[in-house]
Amino acid sequence: MGNLADDPSWACQDGVTLRNRGFAVAAGESYRTVVNARGPVLEFDDSFSVEATLEVERGEWGAFTLFGTLPHDPWWEGTHRLDLEWQGVALAFVYWDGSGEQPLISTSYSAPGTSGQVRIGLRREGTQLYVLVEGQKVAQLDDPGMFPEGRAYLGANVPPGAAVYLYEIEAGAPAGREETVKVQSVPDAGTYVPTEPSLRELAGTHGVSIGAAVSATPLRCDPTYAEALRYEFNLVATENALKFGPVHPEPDRYDWRNADDIVDLAEAQGMLVRGHTLVWHHQLPRWIEEGEWTRQELMDVLHEHIVTVVGRYKGRIYAWDVVNEAVDGNELRDTIWLRTIGHEYIDMAFRWAHEADPDALLFYNDYGSEGMNVKSDAIYDLVAGMRERGLPIDGVGLQMHVIAGLAPGHVHENMDRLAALGLQVHVTELDVRIRGTPTATALAIQARTYQHVAETCLAAHNCTALVTWGLSDRYSWIPGQFPGWGAALPLDEAFQPKPAYYALADALRGP
């Protein structure tokens, strides 16, 4: 069956880097647990054996992990998971049966110590499980029902700061057994089948940019994703790559890899880039959240961050979400920025961004404030005040994470009053979620919501970009954030256009 660690699907996992042979998994500040749900999966009736050759490159241990059932939210609920943790002189066997956060079994077997590569694994023969180190059985136990679906998903786990290199994963029937063990790969989406004309061609006639938020991982590992993106859109937004935590994980270290990949692709394809986001209260690095800051210190940190990030992409990122979600109801949200710096942090952020790239368009971005309500009133007051004070603000981002059939009302009115302040608007994060399995009716309702939002933007002369938060349901953030909801984007999991796609196209085609 070959070396399962060479399967390209591993590159789709966050924290995984492919190597010439196999792949490495590295953790940042928290545990890095990888489960390859789309890659090779073992299917067996009864007996099987699977072994991984690995080396702990950093930290105390690294685990080869087998999932009997895929994880949900919370991570342990209903999840059958076995970590075989290699600790250098011992192998820890940690098994969660899905009933709680504490493992059902947690034992450790001493094993011949190695400083380099080691081969560890598991063999099942009937109801018996054997733990393997260098091909030797080091322990035997009754199977507590680890693989209720007759399959094992492959993965890995490392504690904070650690890294493990998996050279090789081999699976098969135990020697001398006749069982069939199949390795299945979830089929790839395949080639993108374009619909003509593309959304970007249709949008071109209106002078409105049509964009999608992009994640660097599928961009690297899923060719269909990149194809669909290039074909349909003329703008990309950085979904996570430029958030404070991901891009600036340590005080003196920036990690540009993901953002560079996205910006490079955009440049090669003549696409605009929206940078998201400089100041937010989520996805902050630990060093910011846990630091003890004086006002001046935090101002210095934020200044350095903004001029470094904006400066690096000067002339290449045409618009920035400078401040994200700073309003809560009718007041400024209680965040580390507000508490430590005071309300002036917003003005400062815009000034510093402008100083670093005077040509970039600078936006304030928020959710739940697309139409007319208390929150959009507060945002209106905020940006009106900024205009009055002569601050370099060019527009307001309307996120537009909405429910099928429930597009907010009076969006046009809100866009108009912002236009009267001389501000543009961008629809920055459009997705339209559906509860449960999407029926034809739900998809039709969703399509109408997409069409309505697109028509509202096209009708407002100051709405200059329409950006969906992803492109395909295959990689949407919705199921992770709103359990039970999904199917929120115009392309389905297999990159097939949904009614929502055609509705967007219709809106762009005009009346």
Q: Contact at 8 Å (CB) between 181 and 42?
A: yes
Cβ closer to ligand XIL: 7 or 366? 366
Smallest separation, CB 328 to ligand XIL (Å): 14
The CA distances from residue 21 to 2, 49, 84, 340, 420, in Å, are 12, 21, 21, 48, 59
Smallest separation, CB 28 to ligand XIL (Å): 14
Cβ closer to ligand XIL: 394 or 429? 429
Q: Contact at 8 Å (CB) between 477 and 469?
A: yes
Determine whether 325 is an active site residue: yes
Q: Is 440 helix (H, G, I), strand (E, B) or coil?
A: helix
The strand pairing partners of 106, in sequence order, are 94
> Would you tell me which residues interact with ligand XIL (CB under 6 A)?
239-240, 324, 367, 399, 429, 477
The CA distances from residue 141 to 127, 130, 134, 182, in Å, are 9, 7, 18, 24
Smallest separation, CB 324 to ligand XIL (Å): 5
Catalytic residue among 232, 239, 325, 370: 325
Give the β-pairing of 118-125 and 105-110. unpaired
Q: Is 241 helix (H, G, I), strand (E, B) or coil?
A: coil
The strand pairing partners of 17, in sequence order, are 24
- Other beta carbons less than 10 A from residue 363's beta carbon: 31
Smallest separation, CB 240 to ligand XIL (Å): 5
Smallest separation, CB 72 to ligand XIL (Å): 16
Enter the DSSP assignment of 11.
Answer: G
Smallest separation, CB 64 to ligand XIL (Å): 26
Cβ closer to ligand XIL: 127 or 481? 481
DSSP letters, 177-222, are ----EEEEEPPP--S----SS-HHHHHHTTT-EEEEEE-HHHHHH-
Cβ closer to ligand XIL: 399 or 449? 399
Cβ closer to ligand XIL: 69 or 240? 240
Smallest separation, CB 269 to ligand XIL (Å): 22
Cβ closer to ligand XIL: 184 or 283? 283
Residue 85: its H or E element: strand 81-86
Rounded CA gap, 405 and 282, in Å? 28
Cβ closer to ligand XIL: 22 or 371? 371
Give the β-pairing of 424-435 and 32-35. unpaired
Enter the DSSP assignment of 258.
Answer: H
Catalytic residue among 55, 125, 232, 429: 429
Smallest separation, CB 397 to ligand XIL (Å): 8
Rounded CA gap, 194 and 187, in Å? 20
Smallest separation, CB 475 to ligand XIL (Å): 9
442-462: burial string, b at 16+ Cβ within 10 Å, e else: bbebbbbbbbbbbbbbbebeb
Residue 504: its H or E element: helix 499-509
**Chain residue at closest Cβ approach to ligand XIL:** 477
The CA distances from residue 336 to 276, 330, 333, 340, in Å, are 19, 18, 10, 6
Cβ closer to ligand XIL: 130 or 477? 477
Q: How many residues does the chain have?
A: 511
Number of alpha carbons in the 13 Å side-chain half-sphere of residue 70: 7
Cβ closer to ligand XIL: 245 or 499? 245
Residues labelled catalytic: 325, 429
